[in-house]
Amino acid sequence: MVVTEATLLYETGSAARYQRMVVVTAPDDVRLDRLEERGLSADEAGERMAVQMEQTEKAARADYVIDNGGTLEAGRETTRMVCERLQLDLMRWMAGSPLGPVG
């Protein structure tokens, strides 16, 4: 299993290289605050967010979605569940089963 952290996979057309996509979402104000905490100005953070696909569209395309706008514990629990499902997907794939849509 390989995990890639990349903000613009859908925007660049690179998502097709991956068997499963996990999208992490958060409200725009939370995203903006986090970018500013990393040292970006509000303008820089806004520009960075402006080139990204809307989160609702990314989430609709994703196999799994992690909401990172709530509590730390809720985010951890969702992440744990997604990791378990990805491990099951990997076991099925290694056993020769095709990976169909998640559902």
pLDDT digits (tens, 9 = 90+) for 15-66: 888 889 999 999 999 989 989 999 999 999 989 888 889 999 999 999 999 9
pLDDT at 103: 65
- The whole-angstrom separation of Cα 38 and Cα 31 is 11
- The whole-angstrom separation of Cα 90 and Cα 64 is 14
Sequence-distant (≥ 6) Cβ neighbours of residue 10 within 8 angstroms = 53, 57, 58, 61
First-last CA distance in the chain? 20
For the whole model, what pTM was predicted? 0.83
Q: Any idea what the Cα angle at residue 1 is, between residues 100 and 94, rounded to 5°? A: 55
Mean per-residue pLDDT, 79-88: 95
List the beta bridge partners of residue 41.
none
